[in-house]
Amino acid sequence: MATQLRYKRVLIKISGEALLGDRSYGVDPGQVDRIAVDIVKAAELGAEIGLVVGGGNIFRGVAGAAQGMERATADYMGMLATVINALALENALKRAGIEARVQSAIPMPTVCEPYVRPRAVAHMEKGRVVIFAAGTGNPFFTTDTAAALRAIEMGCGAFLKATQVDGVYSADPKTDPNAVRYDNLTYTEILARNLKVMDAAAISLARDNALPVLVFSLHEEGGLAAALTGEGRYTLITEGESND
């Protein structure tokens, strides 16, 4: 089964909001379990998987700063929120039948492992899902940038971003019926068109390291495994020519 994979080792970015389910705040255990099942299906194909999860369902640093909080403090609070989400995902993955480890960029040994690159690589080689928490460990960097960074450090073949829709659109398809969907884009087009799939620093990191980015829907059951085998519906972002 592993030979069917287009990418053997991948980094998946999941937003904190994806864990909300029907809630307005916090973590919906049912939603987390559903995401865990999709990740296990992908792992069963032979994929080595790393995860980065956001913290926006609990606290978003930019929002805190906008309300008058010091940005660095707000960002550290957001990093702690990602640790909560990472622990929830770790627990759900173990219940779904796969070993997982949380590694935090901010050391907190009572709760999880510190981020150590060789140890993370060893976990992935042994079939464990590694969940990278606390962003880069530094304020002023988004979890998108942390995900691109970890993907490069882990030697991943691709960076998969799970979103609310099935790819990159020219505008929000939920509010704009004329939004155009793209099958393929280049890093330069993402930046030039100011498409809001992820922040410019993350795209630039991917471009500078020739890291393919796949944007797919988190809500499509089995969508992750389908993207890894090239059968799903997603937008592929590379340095090559686009054919949108």
pLDDT, tens digit (0-9, with 9 covering 90-100), for 111-162 = 999 999 999 999 999 999 999 999 999 999 999 999 999 999 999 999 999 9
Residue 233 lies inside a defined structural domain of this protein? yes
Total domains in the chain come to: 1
With beta carbons less than 8 A apart as the criterion, state whether 29 and 124 touch.
no
pLDDT of residue 100 exceeding 60, the answer is yes
Looking at residue 61, its pLDDT comes to 86
In a domain, 243, yes or no: no
Give the pair of three-digit tokens for residue 69. Answer: 């909080």
Q: Is the pLDDT reported for residue 1 higher than 50? A: no
Q: Is the residue at 244 inside a domain? A: no
d(CA 91, CA 8): 24
Average pLDDT over residues 167-195: 95
What's the pLDDT band for 243 if we cut at 50, 70, 90? low
Can you tell me the distance from the alpha carbon of 135 to that of 150, in angstroms, rounded to the nearest whole number?
9
* 52 in a structural domain: yes
139, 163, 193, 172: CA torsion to nearest 10: -120
DSSP conformation letters of 33-70: HHHHHHHHHHHHTT-EEEEEE--TTT--HHHHHHTT--
What would the pLDDT profile of 30-60 be if each residue is shown by its tens digit?
A: 999 999 999 999 999 999 999 999 999 999 8
- Inter-residue contact 165 to 217 (CB < 8 Å): yes
* Separation of alpha carbons 11 and 52, rounded Å: 7
Q: Which residues, other chains included, contact 193 with Cβ-Cβ below 8 Å and sequence gap of 6+?
A: 170
Query: What CATH number is given to the structural domain containing 69?
Result: 3.40.1160.10
What is the extent of the structural domain holding 61? 2-238
The pLDDT confidence band at residue 221, using thresholds 50, 70 and 90, is confident
Q: Is residue 119 part of a domain?
A: yes
Q: Which of 100, 101, 62 is nearest to 81 (CA)?
A: 62
Distance CA 156, CA 179 (A): 31
